Amino acid sequence: EISSKILTNPFCETTCEYSFLDLSKNNTVEKGEFIFKNSEPFSKKYPLTAPSKGTGQIFYRFEMNCASSEGFLCRTKPDPFYQSTLIVLEYDLTDEETIIKNTTQKELTKLLENFGSLESYFSNVQTELNSSSLEIKNINETTSKVLSTKNDAIKIKDFWELGEYRTVWNLLEKQSAKFVNETLELQTLKNDTEKQISKFNELLDKFHSFQINTSTILQTNFSDSKINEARNLATQIITIRDSFLNKSNISEKTQTLISLENNITKINVLLQEDSLNNSDLNNSLDIELNITFVESIQINKTEIAEIEFSEQKSQCCLFGECETCTNKEDLYPVIFLHGHDFSSRVSAEYNLNLFGKMQKSLEKDGLLNAGTILINVPEEIKQDTLSQIPWPVSIKASYYFDSIREEGELSILQTKKDNIDTYAIRLKNIIDSVQKRTGKNEVTLVTHSMGGLVARRYIQIFGEQDIHKIIMVSSPNHGIGSKTYNLCKAFGESKECDDMEENSLFLNKLKNQQIPKIEVHNIIGVGCDTNGVDGDGIVKKDSATLNWTTNYIINGTCNGFEYLHSKIVYPKEYPKTYKTIRDILF
């Protein structure tokens, strides 16, 4: 629920236009118009629904443009007052979904590792068999089956990587029996294959041994009575040896080796008989044997690559485009800081409107308008709500607000009667709050008028380690002249005016500050009579100029009480100011 309330002159009628925007889809959810009377509150309710899957952030904005109608008893300017708030809908997995995600990932990893191991094994077997005389039945079909089953698991993994964790859970549950049965079947086939290869290697060892024995026998002489029989057996042995090489299955090779062994035994018997008979061994076989060595089959274990899951990244969508949510440290948040309020009777919130037009324009160039921060108590800010946006953000802030805690309740107070030292301390809280909200270590300050003095005093007290750069606009760095000072005392807050007086103790301390090492840019308005010299109508050119900053000159005009000093930050009126700030930021 969004509530709004406006404090107005009771004789004034304020018309407001409002819009509720879905920034992620870049469309308008609702827009309308209403009239405020007698401080009546206005509220709207919008149901926000998170996506059914995944994690990320969805961005909405509620914005209002309000203007009072000038009448007989209502003296007001028709300039609209713009205010907006950025709403971040963070969505994440439920506890149950997280358990399902982790459980299914482990189960898929185990399945894919098993199938990967089997695929590697059977692929290596296929490779070895291509250069071997061994033939294993259906090895190609088995390898294809492993690949098919593995691909079924990979398809389920694809759903996991899309964040469809419940679908994965259901598919695994549905196909669990199939995977178990096929794993057991494939493991059995692997075991059988290993046995066949082991048997084949044993046969090869025997085969090589028989060849060596045969080679020795062929070099032996026989008696006249045994030579013909021995020659026939030797010829058969060579024929059987060649037959072994041509056999492709284990059974046939085994039978061939038995025949080979029998013939070798027979020829050895002939040798023994010749020896026992003391026969003359004058006859050689005249048969040569070229020993053939057959490589055994060795299935090397292949290291299985680690199963990697491409996890669904958190999505941050802005203006119809989605990117992975990421905390880019160099996307420094920009804090817009107003200047002195020349009317002590006007609400402090009015000062926040000064940079409203610039904040809206800079969004078109890539600086997301994150609205306004009023609660400058870091411990009350939710951690990192804006840290994952792939855009830099801008936030309007005011040192005219403070907080008090009573009976556990935090109340925001408007307090405009303090000095610049106090405002510098509040700026510290603002910066701490923005850092906590954005997750960034540094911020960029864009200041107007007295806001520049607040920023300079801040780095003098607290250092510059939290500041990326400072852009000052129309800052009275050397103070305000007597005419401006008298107007300030008449309509504004006394302590602020005293600090800005050109001979004040505060400015004396500020002049002696150490030159910052960070970038400090100084935009100076000229073209108006300012206490008899050139300036922006409020701040003299010489007062704004610093010799240690990068200075930029903006020429403009003043018309009555409409000073360049204030209008210099309006993009349409002074596009050069806008372009200068934009170029410094980007």
Strands 56-68 and 81-91: antiparallel
CA distance 29 to 23: 10
Residue pair 451/337 in contact by the 8 Å Cβ criterion: yes
Domain that holds residue 571: 330-585
Stretches where the chain sits below pLDDT 70 are 6-9, 37-40, 71-73, 75-79, 342-348, 375-382, 407-408, 410
CA distance 423 to 437: 21
CA distance 118 to 116: 5
- The answer to whether position 547 is within a domain reads yes
The CATH number of whichever domain residue 567 belongs to comes to 3.40.50.1820
Helix, strand, coil shares of the chain, percent, nearest 5, are: 45, 20, 35
Tally of structural domains, the chain:
1
The backbone region for 402, taken as left when phi is positive above 0, alpha when psi lies in -120 to 50, beta otherwise, is: beta
Helices (H), 131-164: 139-161
- The answer to whether position 312 is within a domain reads no
- CA of 40: how far to CAs of 35, 43, 62, 253, 572, in Å? 9, 10, 19, 101, 33
Residue pair 97/168 in contact by the 8 Å Cβ criterion: no
Classify 540 as helix, strand or coil.
strand
**How buried is residue 273: exposed, middle or buried, by Cβ count under 10 Å (0-12/13-18/19+)?**
middle
Phi, psi angles (nearest 5°) of residue 134: -85, 140
- pLDDT value, residue 38: 60
Residues with Cβ within 8 Å of 308's Cβ and at least 6 positions away in sequence, in order, are none
- The answer to whether position 426 is within a domain reads yes
Indicate the residue type of 15. Answer: T
* Residue showing tokens 């009579």: 529
* Residue showing tokens 């859970």: 169
Secondary structure, 3-state, 385-407? CCCCCCCCEEEEECCCEEEEEEC
- The answer to whether position 176 is within a domain reads no
Q: Which helix (H) or strand (E) holds 515?
A: none
- The answer to whether position 353 is within a domain reads yes
- The answer to whether position 472 is within a domain reads yes
Residue pair 446/467 in contact by the 8 Å Cβ criterion: no
- pLDDT value, residue 292: 84
**How buried is residue 199: exposed, middle or buried, by Cβ count under 10 Å (0-12/13-18/19+)?**
middle
Take residue 233 and report the two structure tokens written for it.
């057996």
Residue pair 356/82 in contact by the 8 Å Cβ criterion: yes
Strand partners, 371: 85
HSE-CB at 368 with a 13 A cutoff on CA atoms is 27
Buried b (16+ CB within 10 A) or exposed e, 291-312: eeebebbeeeeeeeeeeeeeeb
Residue pair 481/530 in contact by the 8 Å Cβ criterion: yes
Write the pLDDT tens digit of every residue in 129-181.
877 778 888 888 888 888 899 999 999 999 999 999 999 999 999 998 989 99
CA distance 576 to 526: 13
**How buried is residue 277: exposed, middle or buried, by Cβ count under 10 Å (0-12/13-18/19+)?**
exposed
- pLDDT value, residue 73: 66
- The answer to whether position 451 is within a domain reads yes
Take residue 138 and report the two structure tokens written for it.
């259906």
Residue pair 449/475 in contact by the 8 Å Cβ criterion: yes
Secondary structure, 3-state, 294-362? CCCCCCCCCCCCCCCCCCCCCEEEECCEEEECCCCCCCCCEEEECCCCCCCCCCHHHHHHCCHHHHHHH
- The answer to whether position 280 is within a domain reads no
- Nearest residue to 69 via CA among 22, 130, 144, 12: 12
- pLDDT value, residue 493: 81
- Nearest residue to 577 via CA among 448, 397, 480: 448
Indicate the residue type of 85. Answer: T
Phi, psi angles (nearest 5°) of residue 118: -65, -40
